[in-house]
A = this chain, B = another copy of it.
Amino acid sequence: MSKRPADPANGSAPAARQVPMRDFSRSLPMSLLRAREAVMRQFRPSLREHGLTEQQWRILRALAAIEAAEVTELARTAFLLGPSLSRILRDLEARNLIERKTAKADQRRSMVSISKEGVKLMASVAPTSEAIYAEITSRFGARKLAELQEMLGELEQSLAGLGAGNEASAEE
């Protein structure tokens, strides 16, 4: 915690004060970003030791839960955009952590599933991951955690269809 006065001899004649705006560091996006970073910082080292990134881990977890899914469904579940998912799946497949086969009914779709190796990897990561989650829960408080998640869900709900359903705007 290196505190710093941060006033190099002047700094008293600002040029931009016309728009106060929110204190900035207290804006909602920043709060969410910082909180998430604080949480992820706990998990990254462990994942890294197993050669996984956060997103790769999300995909494996999603696959382990739903068994097999189309790419689009997986993108929704793991909350990744198509292009990101496409790249990651290519890598995970090359590492034999997942398997892919095109659906017979619709040649465009491909079904993705976790491989035996993928399951093994998950099994080796899960304990640590769970322990970290437990530590976080314990530090913050299980009840508060549940409350927080509830609020986050409500926030998401209250904004649903605000940025997507603006069908009455300009098209360019």
Contacts and interface: CB of A to CB of B under 8 A. Distances in A.
Interface of A: 1-2, 4, 6, 8, 11, 14-19, 21-45, 54, 58, 61-69, 73, 77, 79, 103, 111, 113-114, 116, 118-119, 122-124, 126-127, 129-130, 133, 135-136, 139-140, 144-145, 147-149, 151-156, 158-160, 162-164
- Copies of the chain in the assembly: 2
A63 B116 CA distance: 51
B139 A162 contact: yes
Contacts of A19: 64, 122-123, 126, 130
Contacts of A153: 31, 35
Greatest chain B CB density within 10 A among A37, A145, A151 is at A151
A168 to B, nearest CB: 14
Contacts of A156: 34-35, 38
B41 A159 contact: yes
B61 A21 contact: yes
Given A45-B163, A63-B16, A154 B126 contact: no
Contacts of A4: 73, 123
A165 to B, nearest CB: 11
A151 B149 contact: no
A123 B64 CA distance: 49
A162 B119 contact: no
B27 A69 contact: no
Contacts of A14: 67
B45 A36 contact: no
Contacts of A147: 151
